[in-house]
Amino acid sequence: MLHIQPPRCLCAWLTIAIFLGCVGTIVIPTLVGTTHAATASPLDQAKDQLNAGKSAKAIEILEELIDSLPPPAILQEAYLLHATALQHEQQIPEALSVLQQLLEEFPFSPVTNPARILLAELSIVTKDYTQALSQLYLALDYATDQDSRRTVLQLIRQAELENENPLGAVKAGLNEMMLGDPQQRLELEQLTQSLILQRLDEVALEELVEDYSTRYPGDIATIRLIELHTARGDEVLAERDIRGFLKRFPTHPYAQTAMALLQSFINKIKVHPHILGVALPFSGPMKPYGTDLLNGIRLAITIAKEQWGLSSVGLVVKDTSLLTAPLKVEMQQLLDEFQPRAVIGPLLSREIRNIGRLPDDYATPFITPSSTLLNVRQYGSYWFNTAMTSSVQAKRLVEYAMMKLDLHRFGIIHPKTAYGRELADMFGKEVVHSGGEVIAIEEYAEEQTDIAVQLRHMKLMDLEQYGLEEPEETRTGEERIVYTPGFDAVFLPGQPVHLAIIAAQLAFFDMNVPILGGNSWHNPEIFRWAKQDLNGSIFVDGFFLNSPDPSVQMFIQRYRSAYHKEPSLFAVQAFDAATVALETIRKGAQSGQDVWDQLVRRSDLPALSGFASFSSAGILNRRLYLLEVNNLAFTQLN
């Protein structure tokens, strides 16, 4: 039996009583100065009955009190005491109902947080973990004293575990550790370590490493990842994790073991006659992109081994988000130690600028799968790019519009962003280069919801050239001026929310022409905003999950099977980068120079969407997907 010293105020007693409810029998204290004469208040009488173990009698008193419509200060406390008494009587649904009513009527009461905690405790009993965790995380935000927060975190840990979310339980335990004494911290550390080693899967471990990258339990989570990857023979990921561990925890007791393991992996990699380097980020904000890109590379190697018999290729991975020296120096070390046939990476355009002419100095091709640079060759002839740049998008879209749809005059309306301006500029240049005309170019701020001014200006410019305004008689015999655009289509390289606004306003201004767009359209949000306004509109992208192409579907199924998620455009671009490099090895490349010779010469490089080649700017010219918006779905046209 737990005994409590009488608190100085009723609110303090209520908080303590609720907190004790999750760990044992509540002893209802008698308030200081309370008399037990027949004149005692109904609340005091109910507390006395609960202290005496007569919860049924307490319920009777409290229900009579609540029915009498007492003042709010008394009513809210009566509700909480009523729910507690119902809990003692195992009337859980009734107690939950009372607590819900309390929270609805008194959302900002002194008893609100104790009510949330009791509601959560009862929800755990009924296995309603969604309700329990919602109330507990809210209660944690409002719990101000250390004991209250520890109690809430204990309940969160319990609810997350019972809800089969051990990662949530680990995080609650880690927060709880900061509130306990040394013995409690030691016990919680043992508990969280046990959960990390026994209950967390790979995804949860990586999240923990990201959140606690340079402190406990990031070290334990990384060691567990190394063990998992090594056990299943995934030495690429094991090596990546070891390198990350050694940079984050160089003095850790496990560091010596990690170093020895890393050296064994390095020796195995060097045995391969052909090595590919990878330079991508695997921690921090860029981690999701680096992970998708590495997945695409690894899948390309797996398929090359199966289909081409290329079992002689090793992969060495450099995490560009965990560098101990400038990127150029680290890449020089990789080139010196492993002498790769090619390097896939880096991710960002500024990283390419930092590396500069190093690929030329070592005669080793660097293939970036993600940079938006329009001309990587400005940094050296050994740079290549498999990303879908704005120039590639514009070229393919204009080609289709002019050659297939017979459209020759265009208006352009773009957002005032770097992406919008670049794509609009590339589209306009490609139109002129192909013999077409740009009638007008208008821009708008991203926060703009009305572009009437821009459309009026576009109309005036059009009327000075090809547009027509002619009188037309209405059904009522009145005359109206009808505008017929002189341009054949409008190019809108904006986001889905902008497209809906602009498409509706185009119709209002009688600009009923086809609408064209870039890959920013490839988002289900477009259907939320645009509904039917964009039906028949066409855009381009480098990847389409619903493509009927058998090779694309094979890639998608293999990717899902290997990584348990859908492939992204980044994964496809990295797959292409690795595949073209592996193709040169298959065709006999024995050095970086040999790989370069084939990459610049061949027009039959095997990209996922078909044969491809690199342009003089180092950009991969490959087939893009022309997609049409129709009835809340995307349809492939080519």
Whether the CB-CB separation of 373 and 349 falls below 8 Å is answered with yes
Distance from C-alpha of 364 to C-alpha of 596, rounded to nearest angstrom: 7
Mean pLDDT of 302-311: 93
Tell me: pLDDT of 425 over 70: yes
The percent of residues above 90 in pLDDT, for the chain, comes to 81
Q: How many CB atoms lie within 10 A of CB 511?
A: 22
Tell me: pLDDT of 2 over 60: no
Tell me: pLDDT of 38 over 60: no
Tell me: pLDDT of 548 over 80: yes
- Picking from 147-161, 465-479, 557-571, 607-621, which range would have the lowest pLDDT averaged per residue? 465-479
Whether the CB-CB separation of 156 and 165 falls below 8 Å is answered with no
Q: How confident is the model at residue 478 (pLDDT cuts 50, 70, 90)?
A: confident
Of residues 533 and 105, the one with the higher pLDDT is 105
**What integer pLDDT is reported at residue 475 of this predicted model?**
77
**211-220 — which CB contacts under 8 Å span 24+ positions?**
211/171, 212/174, 213/248, 213/283, 214/248, 214/249, 216/189, 217/170, 217/174, 217/192, 217/193, 218/248, 219/245, 219/248, 219/249, 219/252, 219/254, 220/193, 220/196
The one-letter code for the residue type at 416 is K
Tell me: pLDDT of 624 over 70: yes
Distance from C-alpha of 486 to C-alpha of 459, rounded to nearest angstrom: 9
Mean pLDDT of 161-185: 94
In the DSSP assignment, the letter for residue 432 is H
* Total length of the chain: 638
Tell me: pLDDT of 570 over 70: yes
In the DSSP assignment, the letter for residue 491 is E
- Picking from 437-446, 517-526, 602-611, which range would have the lowest pLDDT averaged per residue? 517-526
**What integer pLDDT is reported at residue 539 of this predicted model?**
95
Tell me: pLDDT of 361 over 70: yes
Whether the CB-CB separation of 327 and 320 falls below 8 Å is answered with yes
What string of DSSP letters covers 350-405? HHHHHHTTHHHHTT--EEESS---S-GGGG-TTEEE-S--HHHHHHHHHHHHHHTS
**What integer pLDDT is reported at residue 500 of this predicted model?**
82
In the DSSP assignment, the letter for residue 127 is T
**Mind listing the pLDDT tens digit for each residue in 107-161?**
999 999 999 999 999 999 999 999 999 999 999 999 988 999 999 999 999 999 9
Q: How confident is the model at residue 308 (pLDDT cuts 50, 70, 90)?
A: very high
Contacts of residue 48, defined as CB under 8 A and 6 or more positions apart, other chains included, come to 28, 30, 36, 40
Mean pLDDT of the chain: 90
Which residue's structure tokens are 């509109």? 537
C-alpha 11: how far from its chain's center?
43
Tell me: pLDDT of 4 over 80: no
The percent of residues above 70 in pLDDT, for the chain, comes to 93
Mean pLDDT of 421-443: 96
Distance from C-alpha of 534 to C-alpha of 631, rounded to nearest angstrom: 9
Token representation of residue 616: 């003089």
Whether the CB-CB separation of 504 and 423 falls below 8 Å is answered with no
Q: What angle do CA 543, 546, 550 make, to 5 degrees?
A: 85
Whether the CB-CB separation of 495 and 414 falls below 8 Å is answered with no
Phi–psi pair at 167, nearest 5 degrees = -65, -40
**What integer pLDDT is reported at residue 36 of this predicted model?**
44
Mean pLDDT of 25-35: 38
Which residue's structure tokens are 């770097």? 418
Whether the CB-CB separation of 205 and 196 falls below 8 Å is answered with yes
Tell me: pLDDT of 365 over 80: yes
Mean pLDDT of 391-407: 95
Tell me: pLDDT of 420 over 70: yes
**Whether the predicted model's global pTM rises above the 0.85 cut:** no
Q: How confident is the model at residue 10 (pLDDT cuts 50, 70, 90)?
A: very low
Residues paired with residue 367 on neighbouring β-strands, in sequence order: 344, 384
Distance from C-alpha of 405 to C-alpha of 417, rounded to nearest angstrom: 29
Which of 271, 289, 272 lies closest to 280 in space, CA to CA? 289
Mean pLDDT of 211-234: 94
Contacts of residue 63, defined as CB under 8 A and 6 or more positions apart, other chains included, come to 82
Alpha helices by DSSP H, 178-217: 182-198, 202-211
**What integer pLDDT is reported at residue 531 of this predicted model?**
63
Mean pLDDT of 608-636: 93
**What integer pLDDT is reported at residue 530 of this predicted model?**
67
Q: How confident is the model at residue 12 (pLDDT cuts 50, 70, 90)?
A: very low
209: left (phi over 0), alpha (psi -120 to 50) or beta: alpha
User: Domains of the chain by range and CATH?
Assistant: 10-202 (1.25.40.10), 216-271 (no CATH), 390-541 (3.40.50.2300)
Q: How confident is the model at residue 534 (pLDDT cuts 50, 70, 90)?
A: confident
Which of 223, 275, 277 lies closest to 248 in space, CA to CA? 223
Distance from C-alpha of 470 to C-alpha of 76, rounded to nearest angstrom: 73
- Picking from 2-6, 73-77, 465-469, 501-505, which range would have the lowest pLDDT averaged per residue? 2-6
Residues paired with residue 336 on neighbouring β-strands, in sequence order: none
**What integer pLDDT is reported at residue 443 of this predicted model?**
95
